[in-house]
Amino acid sequence: MTSYKILAISGSLRAESHNTALLRAAQQLDTGLDIEIYDRLRSIPPYDFDFDSPQRRPAIVTDLRDRITAADGLLIATPEFNYSVPGVLKNALDWASTDWTRTEGVPLAHKPIAIMGAAPTQFGSVRAQLALRQVFLWTESDVVVKPEVITFRSHERFDDAGNLADETTISLLTGLLAALSAKIDRAARTEPEAALANR
Ligand SMILES: Cc1cc2nc3c(=O)[nH]c(=O)nc-3n(C[C@H](O)[C@H](O)[C@H](O)COP(=O)(O)O)c2cc1C
Protein backbone atom coordinates (compact mmCIF):
# COMPACT_ATOMS: atom_id res chain seq x y z
CA MET A 1 0.00 0.00 0.00
CA THR A 2 1.33 3.48 -0.84
CA SER A 3 1.68 5.63 2.26
CA TYR A 4 -0.01 9.00 2.37
CA LYS A 5 2.21 12.00 1.61
CA ILE A 6 2.08 14.67 4.29
CA LEU A 7 3.61 18.13 3.95
CA ALA A 8 4.60 19.39 7.41
CA ILE A 9 4.97 23.11 8.08
CA SER A 10 6.40 24.69 11.21
CA GLY A 11 5.41 28.27 11.98
CA SER A 12 8.75 28.93 13.65
CA LEU A 13 11.99 29.85 11.86
CA ARG A 14 14.04 29.39 15.02
CA ALA A 15 16.87 26.84 14.67
CA GLU A 16 15.97 25.15 17.97
CA SER A 17 12.23 25.49 17.49
CA HIS A 18 10.06 23.19 19.59
CA ASN A 19 7.43 23.26 16.85
CA THR A 20 9.86 22.05 14.22
CA ALA A 21 11.07 19.45 16.74
CA LEU A 22 7.46 18.23 17.06
CA LEU A 23 7.39 17.72 13.29
CA ARG A 24 10.65 15.76 13.43
CA ALA A 25 9.14 13.61 16.19
CA ALA A 26 6.12 12.98 13.96
CA GLN A 27 8.46 11.81 11.18
CA GLN A 28 10.06 9.30 13.53
CA LEU A 29 6.82 7.72 14.76
CA ASP A 30 5.72 4.48 13.18
CA THR A 31 2.54 5.80 11.55
CA GLY A 32 2.95 4.69 7.95
CA LEU A 33 2.78 8.34 6.85
CA ASP A 34 5.44 9.81 4.58
CA ILE A 35 6.08 13.18 6.27
CA GLU A 36 8.20 15.82 4.53
CA ILE A 37 9.10 19.00 6.45
CA TYR A 38 8.78 22.19 4.42
CA ASP A 39 11.96 24.23 4.87
CA ARG A 40 11.45 27.33 2.68
CA LEU A 41 9.04 29.37 4.82
CA ARG A 42 11.71 32.02 5.49
CA SER A 43 11.89 32.83 1.77
CA ILE A 44 8.19 33.18 1.00
CA PRO A 45 7.62 36.83 0.01
CA PRO A 46 4.86 38.94 1.56
CA TYR A 47 1.48 38.27 -0.03
CA ASP A 48 0.81 40.58 -2.98
CA PHE A 49 -2.45 40.37 -4.90
CA ASP A 50 -0.78 41.95 -7.96
CA PHE A 51 1.50 38.92 -8.25
CA ASP A 52 -1.07 36.25 -7.33
CA SER A 53 -1.79 34.79 -10.76
CA PRO A 54 -0.38 31.76 -12.62
CA GLN A 55 1.73 34.07 -14.82
CA ARG A 56 3.09 36.43 -12.15
CA ARG A 57 3.48 34.35 -9.01
CA PRO A 58 7.01 34.05 -7.56
CA ALA A 59 8.47 30.57 -8.28
CA ILE A 60 8.78 29.74 -4.59
CA VAL A 61 5.08 30.43 -4.10
CA THR A 62 4.13 28.27 -7.08
CA ASP A 63 6.29 25.52 -5.58
CA LEU A 64 4.56 25.84 -2.19
CA ARG A 65 1.11 25.75 -3.79
CA ASP A 66 2.08 22.74 -5.91
CA ARG A 67 3.45 20.89 -2.91
CA ILE A 68 0.29 21.53 -0.90
CA THR A 69 -1.86 20.39 -3.83
CA ALA A 70 0.22 17.23 -4.30
CA ALA A 71 0.16 16.31 -0.59
CA ASP A 72 -2.57 14.02 0.73
CA GLY A 73 -2.61 16.11 3.89
CA LEU A 74 -0.88 18.82 5.88
CA LEU A 75 0.57 18.75 9.39
CA ILE A 76 1.07 22.20 10.87
CA ALA A 77 2.92 23.04 14.09
CA THR A 78 2.37 26.60 15.21
CA PRO A 79 3.90 28.70 17.95
CA GLU A 80 1.78 31.47 19.43
CA PHE A 81 2.79 35.06 18.72
CA ASN A 82 0.70 37.70 20.46
CA TYR A 83 -2.22 35.30 20.91
CA SER A 84 -2.25 34.38 17.22
CA VAL A 85 -0.54 32.64 14.30
CA PRO A 86 3.00 33.88 13.46
CA GLY A 87 2.92 36.20 10.46
CA VAL A 88 5.27 34.04 8.38
CA LEU A 89 2.90 31.09 8.62
CA LYS A 90 -0.26 33.11 7.98
CA ASN A 91 1.44 34.76 5.00
CA ALA A 92 2.29 31.40 3.41
CA LEU A 93 -1.25 30.13 3.99
CA ASP A 94 -2.66 33.28 2.38
CA TRP A 95 -0.69 32.48 -0.79
CA ALA A 96 -2.22 28.97 -0.78
CA SER A 97 -5.80 30.15 -0.23
CA THR A 98 -6.60 31.73 -3.59
CA ASP A 99 -7.53 31.03 -7.20
CA TRP A 100 -8.51 34.38 -8.62
CA THR A 101 -8.50 33.17 -12.23
CA ARG A 102 -10.68 30.16 -11.32
CA THR A 103 -8.43 27.96 -13.39
CA GLU A 104 -6.17 26.31 -10.83
CA GLY A 105 -8.14 25.36 -7.74
CA VAL A 106 -7.40 26.54 -4.21
CA PRO A 107 -4.55 24.42 -2.78
CA LEU A 108 -5.98 24.47 0.75
CA ALA A 109 -9.58 23.72 -0.28
CA HIS A 110 -10.87 20.50 1.32
CA LYS A 111 -7.30 19.55 2.24
CA PRO A 112 -7.08 17.23 5.27
CA ILE A 113 -5.05 19.13 7.89
CA ALA A 114 -3.81 18.33 11.39
CA ILE A 115 -2.88 21.22 13.67
CA MET A 116 -0.66 21.19 16.74
CA GLY A 117 1.56 23.61 18.56
CA ALA A 118 4.12 24.21 21.27
CA ALA A 119 5.07 27.10 23.53
CA PRO A 120 7.04 27.33 26.76
CA THR A 121 4.12 29.13 28.41
CA GLN A 122 1.23 27.56 30.34
CA PHE A 123 -1.09 27.92 27.34
CA GLY A 124 1.09 26.06 24.85
CA SER A 125 -0.17 27.75 21.64
CA VAL A 126 -3.86 27.06 22.31
CA ARG A 127 -4.95 30.52 21.13
CA ALA A 128 -2.78 30.32 18.01
CA GLN A 129 -4.31 26.95 17.19
CA LEU A 130 -7.80 28.41 17.48
CA ALA A 131 -6.78 31.30 15.22
CA LEU A 132 -5.42 28.80 12.71
CA ARG A 133 -8.69 26.85 12.74
CA GLN A 134 -10.45 30.11 11.89
CA VAL A 135 -8.18 30.61 8.85
CA PHE A 136 -9.19 27.17 7.58
CA LEU A 137 -12.90 27.99 7.75
CA TRP A 138 -12.72 30.24 4.71
CA THR A 139 -10.66 27.72 2.76
CA GLU A 140 -13.05 24.89 3.73
CA SER A 141 -10.09 22.76 4.70
CA ASP A 142 -10.84 19.46 6.42
CA VAL A 143 -9.24 20.01 9.83
CA VAL A 144 -8.82 17.26 12.46
CA VAL A 145 -10.67 18.27 15.63
CA LYS A 146 -9.27 15.81 18.18
CA PRO A 147 -6.93 14.97 19.77
CA GLU A 148 -5.61 18.44 20.46
CA VAL A 149 -1.84 18.57 20.80
CA ILE A 150 -1.24 21.60 23.00
CA THR A 151 2.37 21.32 24.08
CA PHE A 152 2.50 23.73 27.01
CA ARG A 153 5.76 24.16 28.96
CA SER A 154 7.39 22.84 25.81
CA HIS A 155 10.92 23.38 27.14
CA GLU A 156 10.30 20.51 29.59
CA ARG A 157 9.33 17.99 26.90
CA PHE A 158 12.48 17.61 24.80
CA ASP A 159 15.83 16.09 25.69
CA ASP A 160 19.16 17.87 25.22
CA ALA A 161 19.38 16.62 21.63
CA GLY A 162 15.97 18.14 20.84
CA ASN A 163 14.11 14.82 20.72
CA LEU A 164 10.56 14.63 22.06
CA ALA A 165 10.88 12.86 25.38
CA ASP A 166 7.43 13.26 26.90
CA GLU A 167 5.15 10.21 26.81
CA THR A 168 1.92 12.22 26.97
CA THR A 169 2.90 14.35 23.98
CA ILE A 170 4.11 11.29 22.04
CA SER A 171 0.77 9.58 22.69
CA LEU A 172 -1.24 12.68 21.64
CA LEU A 173 0.89 13.14 18.54
CA THR A 174 0.40 9.49 17.58
CA GLY A 175 -3.36 9.96 17.99
CA LEU A 176 -3.34 13.12 15.90
CA LEU A 177 -1.53 11.40 13.03
CA ALA A 178 -3.94 8.44 13.21
CA ALA A 179 -6.86 10.90 13.01
CA LEU A 180 -5.26 12.64 10.02
CA SER A 181 -4.75 9.29 8.31
CA ALA A 182 -8.39 8.34 8.95
CA LYS A 183 -9.54 11.68 7.55
CA ILE A 184 -7.54 11.12 4.36
CA ASP A 185 -9.00 7.61 4.13
CA ARG A 186 -12.53 9.02 4.38
CA ALA A 187 -11.79 11.73 1.82
CA ALA A 188 -10.47 9.11 -0.59
CA ARG A 189 -13.66 7.07 -0.13
CA THR A 190 -16.14 9.94 -0.45
CA GLU A 191 -14.47 11.96 -3.21
CA PRO A 192 -15.67 9.71 -6.06
CA GLU A 193 -19.24 9.96 -4.69
CA ALA A 194 -18.96 13.75 -4.42
CA ALA A 195 -17.68 13.89 -7.99
CA LEU A 196 -20.70 11.88 -9.18
CA ALA A 197 -23.10 14.07 -7.18
CA ASN A 198 -21.72 17.19 -8.86
CA ARG A 199 -22.37 15.94 -12.39
C1 LIG B 1 6.78 38.05 19.05
C2 LIG B 1 6.44 36.95 20.01
C3 LIG B 1 5.20 36.90 20.58
C4 LIG B 1 4.87 35.87 21.46
N5 LIG B 1 3.60 35.80 21.96
C6 LIG B 1 3.24 34.73 22.71
C7 LIG B 1 1.87 34.56 23.10
O8 LIG B 1 1.01 35.35 22.82
N9 LIG B 1 1.56 33.46 23.82
C10 LIG B 1 2.49 32.51 24.15
O11 LIG B 1 2.13 31.51 24.78
N12 LIG B 1 3.79 32.64 23.80
C13 LIG B 1 4.17 33.73 23.08
N14 LIG B 1 5.48 33.86 22.65
C15 LIG B 1 6.45 32.81 23.02
C16 LIG B 1 6.44 31.72 21.96
O17 LIG B 1 5.34 30.89 22.18
C18 LIG B 1 7.73 30.95 22.04
O19 LIG B 1 8.76 31.80 21.55
C20 LIG B 1 7.66 29.63 21.28
O21 LIG B 1 8.50 28.70 21.85
C22 LIG B 1 8.08 29.72 19.88
O23 LIG B 1 8.04 28.43 19.30
P24 LIG B 1 9.36 27.65 18.83
O25 LIG B 1 9.99 27.00 20.03
O26 LIG B 1 8.83 26.66 17.88
O27 LIG B 1 10.28 28.66 18.21
C28 LIG B 1 5.83 34.90 21.81
C29 LIG B 1 7.11 34.97 21.22
C30 LIG B 1 7.41 35.96 20.34
C31 LIG B 1 8.78 35.98 19.71
> What's the mean pLDDT when you consider all of the chain?
95
pTM given for the model: 0.95
Of the pLDDT bands very low, low, confident and very high (cuts 50, 70, 90), residue 190 is confident
Of the pLDDT bands very low, low, confident and very high (cuts 50, 70, 90), residue 197 is very low
Report whether pLDDT(137) > 80. yes
Share of the chain above pLDDT 90, in %: 92
Per domain, the residue ranges of the chain are 5-197
Going by alpha carbons, the residue nearest to atom 31 of ligand 1 is 81
Per-residue pLDDT tens for 56-94?
999 999 999 999 999 999 999 999 999 999 999 999 999
Of the pLDDT bands very low, low, confident and very high (cuts 50, 70, 90), residue 193 is low
Q: How far is the CA of 79 from the centre of ligand 1 (A)?
A: 6
In CATH, the architecture of 5-197 is 3-Layer(aba) Sandwich (3.40)
Q: What is the mean pLDDT of residues 21-32?
A: 97
Instruction: Please report the pLDDT score of residue 198 as a whole number.
Output: 36
The answer to whether 148 and 179 have CB atoms below 8 angstroms apart is: no
Going by alpha carbons, the residue nearest to atom 10 of ligand 1 is 80
Going by alpha carbons, the residue nearest to atom 1 of ligand 1 is 81
The answer to whether 150 and 129 have CB atoms below 8 angstroms apart is: yes
Instruction: Please report the pLDDT score of residue 195 as a whole number.
Output: 43
Instruction: Please report the pLDDT score of residue 188 as a whole number.
Output: 86
**For the chain, how big is the Rg over CA atoms in Å?**
17
Report whether pLDDT(55) > 70. yes
Q: How far is the CA of 127 from the centre of ligand 1 (A)?
A: 11
Report whether pLDDT(139) > 60. yes
